[in-house]
Amino acid sequence: MQLSTVRVEWTPPRTWFVTARLLEVAAGVAVLGWALQSWQVYQSTAQNFGSDGSPTAAPSFLDRVTLFAMYGFGYGQAPFAAPIACLLLVALVAILHFAQPVSHASVLRWEVFGLWSVVALGSLAMVLSVVVALFRGDPNAPPDDGSIRIETGPGITEVLAAGATLPVLCLLLLAVSALWWLRLPVDFEAPEEEPETAVRRPRRWRAAPAQDANVDDLTLDGVELIEPVERLHPRERDGDGSTASGYDDYFRRF
């Protein structure tokens, strides 16, 4: 007993197109998760408390940017969705380069550029927040009143240096994908939707006609079914090979 197999009758160009679209959706989900996490961290920087635990006035915008750089991805809380989105962009560009032909490749080319622009803007925003934090300093640092304090934890410079590895890594991956994106052809060749060697479908045979059926009205796959007849004269070995048969009587009717 032959088991039925599940197959998708898609051509390779269409299969690569669907694969690229799924990777685009995955990259879009990663970017949305990254943006949502960053927005939540930035919103949390509006809450400021004094040394006694009582809430104080909201910090300024630059102080909030500094706190975002420190607590958003500085203390080992880097959003993993950002490098994943960059890796997916590299995979998309690789598909357009090495999996040709791809259906609707010209459309995919600009869709990849749109995703690349969004991820690049997010990575640049993270780098700029690190630069602002380095010049701004820790807004939660105690005032310099002459007291001697022992600092046991990492300073703001160490925290920002550890957090800056994420946006730098993203920018490097984006640079790789941008180099190969620029090498993509402007106009891709239109792929053949049908495979080169078409699979020949087996011919469907119909059941033999009934005894009382009108043979002239029966067809087999669009071909008229001719009633078999017996030869009227036996074939002569010394002749020219032409003999009369019942088919001659059949064609005389037309």
Q: Taking residues 235-242, what's their average pLDDT?
A: 52
Residue 118: band (very low, low, confident or very high) from pLDDT cuts 50, 70, 90: very high
Q: Is residue 211 pLDDT above 80, yes or no?
A: no
**CA dihedral (107, 111, 116, 121) positive or negative:** positive
Model pLDDT for residues 1-55, shown as the tens digit of each residue: 455 555 667 788 888 999 999 999 999 999 998 898 888 888 888 876 666 666 6
Mean pLDDT of 118-142: 85
∠ CA(134), CA(138), CA(140), 5° rounding? 165
Let me know if 130 is exposed, middle or buried by CB neighbors in 10 A (0-12, 13-18, 19+): buried
Angle between the 165-182 and 81-98 helix axes, to the nearest 10 degrees?
20
Q: What is the pTM of this model?
A: 0.65
Please report, rounded to a whole number, the percentage of residues in the chain having pLDDT higher than 70. Answer: 59
Please say whether the beta carbons of 123 and 116 come within 8 A. no
Helix, coil or strand: residue 180: helix
As beta bridge partners, residue 220 has 223
pLDDT digits (tens, 9 = 90+) for 75-92: 555 678 889 999 999 999
pLDDT category, 198, cuts 50, 70, 90? very low
State pLDDT tens for residues 215-238.
555 555 555 555 665 655 555 555
